Amino acid sequence: MIKAKIIGASGYGGIGVAELLLSHPEAEIVALVGVDPVNVPISDVYPHLSGYLDMPILAADDPKAQVDADVVFMATPDRVGMQLAQSELDKGAKVIDFSGDFRFNTPDAYCDYATRIGLAPDHLAPTLLSDSVYGLTELHRDALKAGPSVVGNPGCFAVSCLLGLAPAVAAKLVTPDSIICDCKTGVSGAGKKASAAFHFPARHENMNAYRLSGHQHVCEIEHELNLLSGTAFNVTFTAQVVPMTRGIMTTLYGTLSDTYTEADVLDIYKKHYANDPFVRVFPSDAGIGTAHVRGSNRCLLMVSVDERTHRLRIVSHIDNLMKGQAGSAVQNMNVLFGCPETMGLDRPGNYP
């Protein structure tokens, strides 16, 4: 059994991993670490877990939290994982971090990211970066199989954009300067912390764009597109919130570099993802929405070509808490530890 410790257990990222590991045949939870509250059963905070998971949430420095683990999920904010990772590695664990701390392989790339979004520019564990891998499994499966020490679990918007763009960018279907990512997310993407912006009456029957001057996920999108194509990409990215709990729908636009029909593109996309169990490709008239990925680790892509304007348009659907976060993390764990990639994740959600 893979022994798993979850740091940041009481947030939505942590609870998502916990739910998945409860039905994972090869993993078991050995410790839960959090900040507020501590020393209460997690099922007091999340009563749906009552009887399924009643372990206490421990403070990070609680001796009981120092238990041996094979994998540590760090569902923590930026700049926390980089401070905690080394001590977990020293105890023999692999680390899967949910923040931006390990999404870039070099201190310079991290510095670029951190600077853009107003964080301190220095990485506090720079020596770990060279043995970290960006954890979008579909893009870095081989590197993950090699068993890096640290995985930088991707941002939820980035997952939706990169899975939608990767085949087009790899096949050079679109021109580099033409890409627009119009992203719409449910509210759980903002996490568990209450705030005026996510107070129910302020959010219900409301949609809005935010952080138009720059969102923290843009950097990793451009970085990965560059890796895929060998070309410098600058994308226009718009983050928007809609009154749902779960789900990201991203509409991706790019100018076609040549004449392609929808059938051509559909074929390229299906071939690209032929061996990716969680990505499925549909034509433009399929009746697909985010409801069809809710509670599932899948990404559903709709492919469309607007022949009048010579544009490729991809509509990408994920559950932001699954493929956008905890599901990807468990998928990465499976690859790291040699389990079948779909283990514990191979279920449709509940509909409706």
Subset of residues 227 to 266 that bind its own copies, contact rule: CB under 8 A: 234-236, 238, 240, 242-247, 249, 251, 253
Considering only 132, 153, 188, 334, the residue that binds its own copies (CB under 8 A) is 188
Judged by CB under 8 A, the stretch of 51-59, 76-84, 97-105, 120-128 that binds its own copies is: 51-59
The answer to whether 48 contacts its own copies (rule: CB under 8 A) is: yes
d(CA 144, CA 149): 10
* CB half-sphere exposure, 263, CA atoms < 13 A: 0
Site for its own copies in 74-133 (CB under 8 A): none
Pairing verdict, β 208-210 and 236-241: antiparallel
Site for its own copies in 11-40 (CB under 8 A): 12, 15-16, 19, 22-23
Nearer to its own copies, 141 or 310 (CB): 310
The answer to whether 284 contacts its own copies (rule: CB under 8 A) is: yes
Nearer to its own copies, 46 or 337 (CB): 46
- For its own copies (CB under 8 A), the number of binding residues is 87
Which residue among the candidates 111, 156, 183, 339 is catalytic per the annotation? Answer: 156
Considering only 61, 118, 127, 204, the residue that binds its own copies (CB under 8 A) is 204
Residues 294, 349: contact at Cβ < 8 Å?
yes
d(CA 129, CA 96): 13
Name residues whose C-beta falls within 8 Å of residue 347's C-beta, 6 or more positions apart in sequence: 295, 296
Minimum CB separation of residue 293 from its own copies in Å reads 7
Name residues whose C-beta falls within 8 Å of residue 282's C-beta, 6 or more positions apart in sequence: 288, 300, 301, 302, 303
Minimum CB separation of residue 350 from its own copies in Å reads 5
The answer to whether 194 contacts its own copies (rule: CB under 8 A) is: yes
Considering only 21, 171, 288, 345, the residue that binds its own copies (CB under 8 A) is 288
Report residue 86 as tokens: 């080394």
Minimum CB separation of residue 348 from its own copies in Å reads 5
Residue 112 CA: distances (Å) to CA of 145, 305, 329: 28, 34, 25
| 156 catalytically annotated | yes
Nearer to its own copies, 223 or 280 (CB): 280
Residue 115 CA: distances (Å) to CA of 74, 118, 119, 213, 238: 22, 5, 6, 14, 19
Binding string, residues 165-184; x marks residues near its own copies by CB under 8 A? ------------x--x-x-x
Helix (H) or strand (E) holding 156: helix 156-170
Residues 93, 70: contact at Cβ < 8 Å?
yes
The answer to whether 195 contacts its own copies (rule: CB under 8 A) is: yes
The residues that are catalytic are: 156
